[in-house]
């Protein structure tokens, strides 16, 4: 990674979480921009990423599909108008059987978008089958399905008394992630150091992934 960073203006990184701290040091030392799509970071990894962003521009996203960034912004706006006392926020995601993490990074990004819209801490509610009883008010529920070769299917549901409101994103071709990452890489040219998201690349209003309270 150090040699690649030294020879590059920008590095696009979709690798493993346990490499992120080493990669952060490499891009910071080389002074090249970093487009990061890896998820599942530890607190130490997160600190290394923030340190790199103080030196070089870092565009970080759980999903580089432009439609995902747009859905996250719409979810934020929906959450602002649909209060938790009246609407339960639930996120359903399905991916291929090989995917290791659950919920997916994209699902968590949508959950953080809900928290930002509601101006409350991000409180994830994962599988509740082992905890029988009524659903608590507030928080964001997650359900993860794994099977076949599904690229990525996410639905955000606001379930209310008398109506349900949902929005869905389905990835049909992995090339959409590559195109978004290349778009982000081109966008970094001339940018000052900082931690950016696809909202910045696309010119949307709120930096969902960076502004949400930590889980």
Write out the catalytic residue numbers: 95, 99
Task: Specify whether the CB–CB gap between 146 and 102 falls below 8 A.
Answer: yes
* Cα-based torsion angle of the residue sequence 103, 106, 108, 191 in order, rounded to the nearest 10 degrees: 140
* Residue 7 CB-density burial (10 A; 0-12 exposed, 13-18 middle, 19+ buried): exposed
Q: How far apart are CA 14 and CA 114, in angstroms?
A: 26
Residue 53: CB atoms within 10 Å: 22
Q: How far apart are CA 47 and CA 69, in angstroms?
A: 24
């Amino acid at each position: 990674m150090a040699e690649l960073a030294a020879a590059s203006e920008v590095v696009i990184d979709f690798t493993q979480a346990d490499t992120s701290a080493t990669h952060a040091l490499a891009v910071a030392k080389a002074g090249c921009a970093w487009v990061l799509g890896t998820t599942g970071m530890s607190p130490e990894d997160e600190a290394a990423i923030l340190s790199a962003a103080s030196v070089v521009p870092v565009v970080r996203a759980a999903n580089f599909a432009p439609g995902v960034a747009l859905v996250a912004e719409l979810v934020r706006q929906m959450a602002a108008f649909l209060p938790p006392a009246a609407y339960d926020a639930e996120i359903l995601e399905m991916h291929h059987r090989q995917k290791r993490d659950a919920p997916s990074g994209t699902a968590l990004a949508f959950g953080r978008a809900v928290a930002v819209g509601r101006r409350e801490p991000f409180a994830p509610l994962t599988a509740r089958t082992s905890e029988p009883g009524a659903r608590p008010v507030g928080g964001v529920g997650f359900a993860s399905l794994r099977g076949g070769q599904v690229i990525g299917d996410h639905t955000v549901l606001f379930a209310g008394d008398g109506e349900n409101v949902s929005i869905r994103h389905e990835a049909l071709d992995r090339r959409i992630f590559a195109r978004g990452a290349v778009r982000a890489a081109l966008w970094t040219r001339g940018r000052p150091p900082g931690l950016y998201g696809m909202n910045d690349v696309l010119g949307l209003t709120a930096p969902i992934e960076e502004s949400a309270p930590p889980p």
